[in-house]
Amino acid sequence: MSTYMAEIDPIAGPGEIMEVSMGPHHPSTHGVFRMDVRLDGEKVVRLKPVFGYLHRNHEKIAEHGAWLAAIPYTDRLDYLCSMTNNWGYVLAVEKLAGIQVPERAEYIRIIVAELTRFQNHAGLVGFLLQDMGASGTPLMYAFREREKVLDLFESLSGARMMCNYMRFGGLRVDCTPAWLDEVRHLVSRLPRFIDEFENLLRANEILMARTQGTGVLPRDLAINAGVTGPMLRASGVNYDIRKVDKYGIYDRFNFRVPLGDHGDVYDRYMMRILEMRESVKILEQALRDIPAGPIIDPKVRLRGLRPKAGEAYGRIESPKGELGFYLISNGTGDPYRYRVRPPSMINLTILEDMCLGQNIADVVIILGSVDIVLGEVDR
């Protein structure tokens, strides 16, 4: 046990506080994450997250390889959403080197990013409901749709999960009209799936009793703690980087940003459902308007990219929050400093604040609603 636990004054008398280490191996399916919890009976008195069990030295490895060689490693950051990770990195490099992206590539980027957002939110709802006790069935529904999206990614980029698809200034390979027809076919059936998935458990007594009022995150704390993504919007803060930065061509699309009132687990759960619907809207518009054209500027040097010395911070709205890449170049072919802004890790800053005073059983669902992926937390 590390020394910090000995410093706080126990609320109850000595011998009445129980220390539990939840993890790094535990049934809740969020990866190798550990929480050192101090309990007074069933109530949480102190909770310290401990991670680093998946620290794979992504930032150090990227410093030794070329700029292009870091793209497959970004796939493995948030391993459920490889397309949006790729986009975050290539956006930062395009800012650093001043590279333009052709229009067709922007449309395809938005299509794959919104498909990624859809399957991530579906998976998250499935995992959250499984943590609450609906063991298996909602996850089966979510993974059924996820498999359809992964089939599309496989036929487009060659891999189900680690797509390695985006390049500086565009994409690796163009999509065919047949692929676009498949996406249209899938998107036409998605609203019915979202309705079915939502009605599965939305008005369920156990769900509502367990999640409403649990794990409340106040608005000011959320802003100060740097929380981003659906977790921030569930607390009522209107900050979606697609609307703020308008990166890509998101300003051409008509979609709303759902906001929550209470900032509890139920709001975060509903946030994902509502964002799935908005993603479907964006997909329909993108599939309708996608033009023909090139997908990358042929004059861009991918392999021997040597951006001028300088730095850039590029960020996107990934399904987990603000995914940013801070890159410092010293004029050579390798990054001098390559830093990832991990939304999952920063969203964990206030995990303790949300869990204090809650039951130990609710800690699992509060953690589930934060939506962490350890590949991103630890890098």
Partner 1 sequence: MEQNLKELKIELSKNGIFTTTLEELYNWGRKNSVWPLTFGLACCAIEMIATTMARYDLARFGAEVFRPSPRQADLIIVSGTVTKKMAPQVVRLYNQMPEPKYVIAMGACAISGGPFRDGYNVLKGIDRYIPVDVHIPGCPPRPEALIHAFMTLQKKIEEQSLSGADRPRHLDADLPSEFPVPSFGEHGLEPPNNPDVFFNEPGNPLKVIQ
Partner 2 sequence: MTTLPPVEDIKAQIEAAVPGCRITVIPNGSPSGQHSLLLDNDHARAAALFLRDHPSLRLDYCSLVTGVDWLDTETTEKVKVKKLVDGPEGSQQEQEVEETRKTKVPGHLESVYHLFSMEKKHGPVVLRLRTANRTDQTHLPSLTPVWRSAEFQEREAFDLYGIVFDGHPDLRRILMWDGFVDFPMRKDYVPPADDPLVEVQP
Q: Least CB distance from residue 68 to partner 1, whole Å?
A: 14
Q: Least CB distance from residue 305 to partner 2, whole Å?
A: 13
Using the minimum distance from each CB to partner 2, give the nearer residue, 150 or 328. Answer: 328
Q: Least CB distance from residue 219 to partner 2, whole Å?
A: 10
Using the minimum distance from each CB to partner 2, give the nearer residue, 71 or 350. Answer: 350
User: Computed over its alpha carbons, how large is the radius of gyration of the chain?
Assistant: 21
Q: Does 239 bind partner 1 (CB under 8 A)?
A: no
From candidates 19, 42, 147, 181, binder to partner 1 by CB under 8 A: 147
- Residue reference for tokens 């059936």: 189
Using the minimum distance from each CB to partner 2, give the nearer residue, 66 or 180. Answer: 66
Strand partners, 170: 167, 296
Q: Least CB distance from residue 33 to partner 2, whole Å?
A: 13
Using the minimum distance from each CB to partner 1, give the nearer residue, 59 or 103. Answer: 59
- Residue reference for tokens 């891999």: 159
Cβ-count burial 346-363 (b if 16+ within 10 Å, e if not): bbbebbebbbeebebebb
Q: Which stretch binds partner 1 (CB under 8 A): 56-64, 174-182, 195-203, 218-226?
A: 56-64
Classify residue 284 by burial, with Cβ atoms within 10 Å: 0-12, 13-18, 19+: middle
Q: What is the 3-state secondary structure (H, E, C) of 190-249?
A: HHHHHHHHHHHHCCCHHHHHHHCCCCCCCHHHHHHCCCCCHHHHHCCCCCCHHHHCCCCC
The residues of the shown chain that bind partner 2, judged by CB under 8 A, are: 2, 4, 51-52, 55, 57, 59-60, 95-98, 221, 223-228, 237, 239, 244-246, 307-315, 322, 324, 326, 328-329, 337, 339, 341, 345-346, 348-350, 378
Q: How many residues in the shown chain lie near partner 1 by CB under 8 A?
A: 33
Chain centroid, CA 316 distance in Å: 10
Return d(Cα 131, Cα 237) in angstroms, integer: 27
Using the minimum distance from each CB to partner 2, give the nearer residue, 39 or 377. Answer: 377
Q: Does 32 bind partner 1 (CB under 8 A)?
A: yes
Q: Does 246 bind partner 1 (CB under 8 A)?
A: no
226: left (phi over 0), alpha (psi -120 to 50) or beta: left
350 binds, among partner 2, partner 1, none (CB under 5 to 8 A by kind): partner 2
Q: Least CB distance from residue 171 to partner 2, whole Å?
A: 21
25 binds, among partner 2, partner 1, none (CB under 5 to 8 A by kind): partner 1
Return d(Cα 337, Cα 307) in angstroms, integer: 13
Q: What is the DSSP letter of 359?
A: B
Q: Does 374 bind partner 1 (CB under 8 A)?
A: yes
Q: Does 54 bind partner 1 (CB under 8 A)?
A: yes
Q: Which stretch binds partner 1 (CB under 8 A): 75-83, 226-234, 320-328, 352-360?
A: 75-83
CB atoms within 10 A of CB 13: 7
313 binds, among partner 1, partner 2, none (CB under 5 to 8 A by kind): partner 2
Using the minimum distance from each CB to partner 1, give the nearer residue, 34 or 243. Answer: 34
273 binds, among partner 1, partner 2, none (CB under 5 to 8 A by kind): none
| Token reading at 108 | 């395809």
Q: Does 179 bind partner 1 (CB under 8 A)?
A: no
CB atoms within 10 A of CB 364: 20
Q: Does 129 bind partner 1 (CB under 8 A)?
A: no
Q: What is the 3-state secondary structure (H, E, C) of 12-52?
A: CCCCCEEEEEECCCCCCCCCCCEEEEEEECCEEEEEEEECC
Q: Do residues 344 and 194 make contact, with C-beta atoms less than 8 angstroms apart?
A: no
Cβ-count burial 188-220 (b if 16+ within 10 Å, e if not): eebeebbeebbebbeeeeebeebbeebbbbeee
Query: What kind and span of H or E run contains 341?
Result: strand 337-341
Q: Does 158 bind partner 1 (CB under 8 A)?
A: no
359 binds, among partner 2, partner 1, none (CB under 5 to 8 A by kind): none
- Sites of contact with partner 1 (CB under 8 A): 24-27, 29, 31-32, 52-58, 60-61, 64, 72-73, 76, 79-80, 139-140, 143-144, 146-147, 160-162, 374-375
